[in-house]
Amino acid sequence: DGFSIVSKRGSEVMDTFIRNQTTNQIHTSSNHSGGIQGGISNGEQISFRVAFKPIATLQRSLPTMTEEGKVQILHPGGRHDTCVLPRAAIIVESMAAWVIADHVLWSGLDTIEKIKKTNL
């Protein structure tokens, strides 16, 4: 649900745990949190949306300030990307993989044998 959740009450977006009567497996009744609750995977599919700020470097002069507080104009030169979109999916996928791998290692699953035993 991502960005739309901010305008809702907590009671409207709770991912409560329930037992599937057919499979007897425990899962959440919804996936408003995108599979992560309190920084921990809740077993549901992990999904998220991202937003990027506009590219800060432009091909025009921009005001800035020195450490002494003096206004200065920067005249950037060179090639500047006008849009991050062509790289956005690669950036997000790479960082998501990095963070998940980091959490797997922090959880103590630091060998393939340990990971295989958990049925991940």
> Structure tokens of 41?
């995977």
- Tell me: the pLDDT tens digits for 44-81? 888 888 888 877 767 788 899 999 999 999 887 766 66
55 residue type, one letter: I
Q: Which domain holds residue 3?
A: 1-49
Residue 17: inside a domain, yes or no? Answer: yes
Residue 35: inside a domain, yes or no? Answer: yes
- Global pTM reads 0.55
> Percent helix, strand, coil in the chain (nearest 5)?
30, 15, 55
Residue 82 has pLDDT above 80, yes or no: no
How many folded domains does the chain comprise? 1
- Report DSSP state, residue 34: T
Residue 120: inside a domain, yes or no? Answer: no
Residue 45: inside a domain, yes or no? Answer: yes
Residue 56: inside a domain, yes or no? Answer: no
Residue 62: inside a domain, yes or no? Answer: no
- Tell me: the pLDDT tens digits for 4-34? 888 888 888 888 899 999 999 898 999 888 8
Residue 58: inside a domain, yes or no? Answer: no
Residue 50: count of CB within 10 angstroms of its CB: 11
Residue 77: inside a domain, yes or no? Answer: no
